[in-house]
Chains A and B, each alone.
Chain A
Amino acid sequence: EAQVTQNPRYLITVTGKKLTVTCSQNMNHEYMSWYRQDPGLGLRQIYYSMNVEVTDKGDVPEGYKVSRKEKRNFPLILESPSPNQTSLYFCASRPTRGSPLHFGNGTRLTVT
Chain B
Amino acid sequence: AQTVTQSQPEMSVQEAETVTLSCTYDTSESDYYLFWYKQPPSRQMILVIRQEAYKQQNATENRFSVNFQKAAKSFSLKISDSQLGDAAMYFCAYRSGFGNEKLTFGTGTRLTIIP
Contact = CB atoms under 8 A, between A and B. Distances in A.
Indicate the size class of the contact surface on chain A: 20 to 34
B43 A106 contact: yes
Contacts of A100: 35, 47, 50
B100 interface: yes
A31 B101 contact: yes
Contacts of A14: none
Contacts of B47: 100-101
Contacts, number: 51
B100 A56 contact: yes
Indicate the size class of the contact surface on chain B: 20 to 34
A101 B4 CA distance: 18
Contacts of B97: 98
B64 interface: no
A59 interface: yes
Contact of B45 (A94, A103, A108): A103
B103 interface: yes
A105 interface: yes
A44 B101 contact: no
